[in-house]
Amino acid sequence: MDVTGIANLATTMSDASTSQAISIAVLKKAINLGAEGALALIEAIPDNKSIQSLPSHLGQNINTTA
């Protein structure tokens, strides 16, 4: 193997390593953005315990024969 072949191989390996590091960084950013979005949706759910418009006996049983 000549010197230019070794240099080309080293450059290619370095480029692949850099490309992989960038891809991992982008993936981590996407995961973090997804987690932030999910957390915002969960926090946006209204608290239904403060609304007592229905009698307390409703919603206690499930009719499985209907």
Both tokens of 29, joined, read 């950013």
Q: Say how far apart CA 48 and CA 60 lie, in whole Å.
A: 16
Both tokens of 28, joined, read 């981590």
pLDDT of residue 1: 59
pLDDT of residue 59: 75
More confident site: 32 or 63? 32
Q: What is the DSSP letter of 40?
A: H
Q: pLDDT tens digit string along 5-52?
A: 888 888 888 888 888 999 999 999 999 999 999 999 999 988 766 556
Torsion angles phi and psi, residue 64, rounded to 5: -95, 0
**What residue segments make up the domains of the chain, in order of their start?**
3-43
